[in-house]
């Protein structure tokens, strides 16, 4: 791959395992020349992520960060400052909602499930952008992963769809705030991909099948294609693109029927 991100430093949030979308985008960013720093959520995942990132050299930094805790976000960025005084890229590939909220009817969503889903999946983008922006001294690109359930009803996606709507709107407001600093903020709306998070959504397999039947390209997307879209949005090729939701979904989003 052409080294379009040579010399760039990127922060990657959301690698849980090798199927994670964050991992696909991290691999593509690294292949395009970026140097990366990773988070992991809690000791449970540390070893997993450590093993994966060793692929980029043993010294690839990774630090703990549960995005629902302000003190962990603060500590993460202090750790980042020990490694670099400039950051160019940030990937937000994080979402969570209590399992029961993704099974029944949306109307049954509890106050607590609503709060957790929004805090982890949407507010965290604002909190991370606020910490990253002062380090983006030469401009930057922030990318968040989203899904079509933000704009249309996807049965079972429930409160996560509402949280994704909040994430996409947050990306637009952040794009406005950070535009004068030449920091761009965009979302990639991925079609269904088999990952750990996807397994939590009931009826996920039938979602995939639905895309194979209805999407113009007769399929969803594969992780490498999300990686390539991530490189594009991070690169100078996307220098005038901000506040957008880019669909990498086999074209499904254009269909009315
Ligand atoms: P994944 O591999 O399970 O990634 C989700 C990540 O979020 C995990 O690393 C998870 O860590 C992390 N996370 C959850 N709560 C967190 C917290 N409090 N602090 C820090 N990290 C936390 O699944 P994925 O499918 O790649 O999901 C990545 C993003 O893509 C999500 O925003 C998802 O909504 C979006 N997306 C996925 C699809 C799809 O079909 N898979 C489609 C469109 C968009 P733990 O494992 O420790 O919880």
Please confirm, yes or no, whether 147 is among the known catalytic residues.
yes
Supply the pLDDT for residue 208.
92
Pocket test for ligand 1, best of 45, 93, 143, 191 (most atoms within 8 A of CB): 93
Question: What's the confidence (pLDDT) of residue 200?
Answer: 79
Q: Record the pTM.
A: 0.98
Q: Which residues of the chain have pLDDT under 70?
A: 1
Residue 136: CB atoms within 10 Å: 22
Domain coordinates of the chain in residue numbers?
A: 9-248
Q: Rounded CA gap, 38 and 25, in Å?
A: 12
Question: What pLDDT is attached to residue 210?
Answer: 94
From the number of C-beta atoms within 10 Å of its C-beta (0-12, 13-18, 19+), residue 29 rates as buried
CATH number for 9-248 (one of 3.40.50.720, 3.30.465.10, 3.40.309.10, 3.50.30.30): it is: 3.40.50.720
> Residue 58: what pLDDT?
76
From 69, 76, 95, 124, the mutation candidate for ligand 1 (largest count of ligand atoms within 8 A of CB) is 95
Strand partners, 248: 190
Determine the pLDDT at residue 1: 62
pLDDT of residue 31: 96
How many Å apart are CA 153 and CA 173, to the nearest integer? 24
């Amino acid at each position: 791959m052409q080294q379009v991100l040579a010399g760039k430093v990127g922060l990657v949030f959301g690698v849980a395992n090798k199927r994670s979308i964050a991992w696909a985008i991290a691999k593509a960013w690294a292949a395009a020349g970026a140097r990366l720093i990773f988070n992991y959520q809690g000791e449970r995942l540390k070893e997993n992520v450590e093993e994966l990132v060793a692929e980029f050299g043993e010294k690839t930094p990774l630090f703990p960060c549960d995005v629902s805790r302000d003190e962990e976000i603060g500590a993460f960025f202090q750790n980042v400052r020990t490694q670099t005084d400039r950051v160019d890229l940030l990937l937000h590939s994080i979402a969570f909602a209590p399992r029961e909220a993704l099974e029944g009817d949306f109307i049954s969503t509890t106050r607590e499930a609503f709060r957790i889903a929004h805090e982890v999946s949407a507010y965290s983008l604002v909190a991370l952008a606020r910490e990253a922006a002062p380090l983006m001294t030469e401009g930057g690109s922030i990318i968040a992963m989203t899904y079509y359930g933000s704009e249309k009803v996807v049965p079972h996606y429930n409160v996560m769809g509402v949280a994704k709507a909040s994430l996409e709107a947050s990306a637009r407001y952040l794009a406005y705030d950070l535009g004068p600093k030449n920091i761009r903020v965009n979302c990639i709306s991925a079609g269904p991909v088999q990952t750990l998070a996807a397994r939590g959504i009931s009826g996920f397999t039938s979602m995939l099948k639905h895309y194979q039947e209805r999407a113009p390209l007769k399929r969803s997307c594969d992780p490498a294609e999300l990686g390539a879209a991530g490189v594009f949005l991070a690169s100078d090729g996307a220098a005038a693109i901000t506040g957008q939701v880019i669909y990498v979904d086999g074209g499904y989003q254009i269909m009315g029927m």
